[in-house]
Copies of this chain bind each other. A is one copy, B any other.
Amino acid sequence: MSYPPGYRIERERNRTEKAGDIARAKAIQAAIELFSTSGYNKSSIAEVALRTGLSQSGLLHHFPNKTALLTAVLEQREKEDSEFLFGEGAAPLGWAAFDSLLALVARNSTRPEWIGLFVRISAEATEANHPANQWMLDHYRSTRQWLTQAIEDGKRTGEILPDVPVDAIVRNTIAVLDGLQQQWVAEPDSMSMVAELRVYLDQLRSAWGNPQQ
């Protein structure tokens, strides 16, 4: 097998191996763009290869099969998103967590492929035997965990009222995020996700924020 990165670390990577990395990165980018408009199932590896500038076999040299390509795409997304959200330091907590969600949405508004990718893949992946099913479940679970922790911490510091219905708010917030993205993918020019989300967050704050602080 050839493609997993991080192998043979003891030797200097030479030029050809770099060429491989470039091809892989291009392929992932092409796949993101394709998946984001056509979804995973409907996209063909032949088309990805075409956009990468490889033959289909050439592409399959780097990714043994279609699901490996999908995995690479999802890892890429996960990596970039969590770098943006958490960077080097710890995850933001309290209301700051919700603010960083807003920042994430603002940034993704300039990268339509990422929204499309997420909307389509996570809808497809609700099917139990979809290759991204586990990823999707994990993604939701970890997001819920983070937001739950954020709210609990806000209660601890006193910026969030103690009688807040944590679970419902976590799920509703994620729902607003997903739902707005879906509407935006359908008609990008008709709305601003940031503006709508801000209204939702203001509502949250005024309902459950501590007025003393």
Binding site for B on A (CB under 8 A): 37-39, 41-42, 116, 119-120, 122-127, 136-137, 140, 165, 167-169, 171-172, 174-180, 182-183, 185-187, 191, 195-200, 203-204, 206-207
Q: Report which of B42, B126, B203, B204 forms a contact with A119, defined as CB distance below 8 A.
A: B126
- When C-beta atoms are compared, the residue in chain B nearest to A179 turns out to be B175
List the B side residues contacting A175 at CB < 8 Å: 175-180, 182-183, 196
- Given known contacts A168-B196, A171-B180, A191-B171, A126 and B203 CB-to-CB distance under 8 angstroms: no
Contacts of A195 in B (CB 8 A): 168
Are B171 and A183 interface neighbours, CB within 8 A?
yes
Tell me which residues across on chain B come within 8 A of A123, comparing CB atoms: 39, 119-120, 123-124, 182
Cα distance A168–B200 in the bound complex, in angstroms: 8
A49 to chain B, nearest CB (A): 21
Q: How far is the CA of A200 from the CA of B199 in the complex (A)?
A: 13
Q: Are A186 and B137 neighbours in the complex by a CB distance under 8 Å?
A: yes
Partner of A207, one of B37, B119, B180, B207: B207
Q: Do residues B185 and A172 form an inter-chain contact, with CB atoms below 8 A?
A: no
Is the pair B126, A169 in contact by a Cβ cutoff of 8 Å? no
Number of copies of this chain in the oligomer? 2
The contact of A178 among B38, B167, B178, B204, by CB within 8 Å, is B178
Partner of A186, one of B116, B140, B169, B187: B140
Which of A116, A183, A195 has the most B CB atoms < 10 Å from its CB? A183
Partner of A140, one of B167, B176, B183, B197: B183
User: Closest CB-CB distance, A44 to chain B, in whole Å?
Assistant: 13
Question: Contact check: which of B171, B172, B182, B196 meets A122 at CB < 8 Å?
Answer: B182
> Which residues of the other chain, B, contact A204 by a CB distance below 8 angstroms?
203
- Bound Cα distance from A180 to B122, whole angstroms: 13
Which residues of B sit under 8 angstroms from A38, Cβ to Cβ?
Answer: 127
Could you name 26 residue pairs across A and B whose Cβ atoms are closer than 8 Å?
A38-B127, A39-B41, A39-B123, A120-B123, A123-B124, A125-B186, A136-B186, A140-B186, A140-B187, A167-B191, A167-B196, A168-B199, A168-B200, A171-B180, A171-B183, A171-B191, A172-B176, A172-B197, A172-B199, A172-B200, A174-B179, A175-B178, A175-B179, A175-B196, A206-B207, A207-B207
